[in-house]
């Protein structure tokens, strides 16, 4: 099949399901991923013949897109803050707002100029936050934990892929009696993007998320939507040093509740930050003692 015809086939099959510009972007991403063709290649070489085996890869991707499987899961990877992150349906696809959280942390580290900071990422998933921080701060000592063995396996693979050093722990932050690997650890900075979407908010989410991404990493019960934040704040009592910093990604609808919760703990200089879409999405706070 010719490259031009393959693109036309994508549009004929998908334009009724997606915006045509999004379909074009899917096709460019797959060309780059499967064929190592940059975006301009299609305009320059529309008559290039695509092998039967490569055509089959595109057709399998097309069928998955018809089922609304996210393009990142189809390619089994995505880019996040300058690093390549492999993904599958055991981990969330990294979001742009999480990149903003990482950018905020990096700005903070640059301003404080702390030598060899000790950092912990709680609920690491694919490892994207820990790995991006490790790539930008080679002198940092970075640990990461998750309750999911499948997620940790993928996160370790991602650290190897990006040639960074991160130590991973299999721990459940909700179980205060089972953190043996971290019992004597102290950190200068703790970051977390825990599950924070209330079950009642499922109706606001797109089907491609609900049907493909792990609910364990997404949802919390309506009755106690801040349970992970409470557990992490309690964990900070013993494991975040005095004057150390805590960074959270949060539910935009629960910002006031988060500020109230943090006020019950030994923190000061609490900052609430909006993302690029104007949503109250991130919190930074300094531990007093």
Looking at residue 26, its pLDDT comes to: 96
pLDDT in tens, 163-215: 999 999 999 999 876 666 788 899 999 999 998 888 888 888 888 888 888 88
The answer to whether the CB of 189 falls within 8 A of the CB of 244 is yes
Statement to judge: residues 117 and 63 lie in one domain: no
Domain span holding position 145:
90-287
Task: Please give the structure tokens belonging to residue 215.
Answer: 């609910």
Looking at residue 179, its pLDDT comes to: 66
Q: Which of 67, 99, 123 is the C-terminal boundary of a domain?
A: 67
pLDDT at 51 over 80: yes
CATH number, domain containing residue 205: 3.40.50.150
Interval 227-242 mean pLDDT:
94
State how many domains the chain has: 2
pLDDT in tens, 263-282: 999 999 999 999 999 999 99
Residues of 58-83 as b/e, b for ≥16 C-beta within 10 angstroms?
Answer: beebbeebeeebbbbbbbebbebbeb
Statement to judge: residues 19 and 152 lie in one domain: no
Looking at residue 178, its pLDDT comes to: 64
Looking at residue 40, its pLDDT comes to: 85
Looking at residue 167, its pLDDT comes to: 97
pLDDT at 104 over 80: yes
Statement to judge: residues 119 and 41 lie in one domain: no
Interval 85-107 mean pLDDT:
96
Of 62, 67, 47, 60, whose CA–CA distance to 1 is shortest? 47
Statement to judge: residues 245 and 213 lie in one domain: yes
Statement to judge: residues 222 and 109 lie in one domain: yes
Beta-bridge partner residues of 247: 191, 284
Looking at residue 222, its pLDDT comes to: 87
Backbone dihedral angles phi then psi of residue 206, each to the nearest 5 degrees: -80, 155
CA–CA separation, 45 and 32 (whole Å): 14
Question: Is 81 domain-assigned?
Answer: no
Task: Please give the structure tokens belonging to residue 107.
Answer: 């700005």
pTM of the model: 0.94
């Amino acid at each position: 099949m010719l490259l031009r015809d393959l693109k036309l086939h994508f549009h004929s099959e998908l334009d009724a399901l997606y915006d045509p510009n999004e379909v074009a972007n899917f096709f460019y991403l797959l060309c780059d991923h499967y064929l190592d063709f940059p975006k301009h290649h299609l305009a320059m070489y529309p008559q290039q013949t695509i092998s039967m085996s490569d055509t089959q890869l595109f057709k399998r991707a097309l069928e998955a897109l018809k089922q609304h499987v996210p393009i990142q899961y189809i390619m089994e990877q995505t880019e996040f803050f300058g690093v390549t992150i492999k993904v599958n349906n055991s981990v969330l696809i990294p979001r742009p707002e999480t990149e903003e959280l990482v950018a905020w942390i990096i700005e903070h580290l640059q301003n404080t100029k702390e030598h060899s900071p000790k950092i912990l990422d709680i609920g690491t998933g694919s490892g994207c936050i820990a790995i991006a921080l490790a790539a930008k701060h080679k002198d940092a000592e970075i640990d990461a934990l998750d309750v999911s063995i499948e997620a940790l396996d993928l996160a370790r693979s991602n650290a190897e892929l990006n040639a960074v050093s991160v130590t991973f722990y299999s721990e459940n932050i909700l179980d205060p009696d089972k953190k043996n690997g971290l019992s004597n650890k102290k950190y200068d900075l703790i970051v977390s993007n825990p599950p924070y979407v209330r079950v009642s908010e499922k109706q606001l989410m797109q089907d491609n998320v609900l049907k493909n991404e792990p609910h364990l990493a997404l949802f919390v019960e309506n009755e106690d939507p801040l349970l992970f934040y409470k557990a992490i704040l309690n964990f900070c009592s013993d494991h975040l040093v005095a004057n150390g910093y805590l960074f959270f990604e949060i539910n935009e609808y629960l910002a006031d509740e988060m500020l109230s919760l943090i006020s019950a703990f030994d923190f000061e200089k609490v900052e609430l930050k909006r993302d690029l879409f104007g949503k109250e999405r991130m919190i930074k706070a300094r531990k007093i003692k």
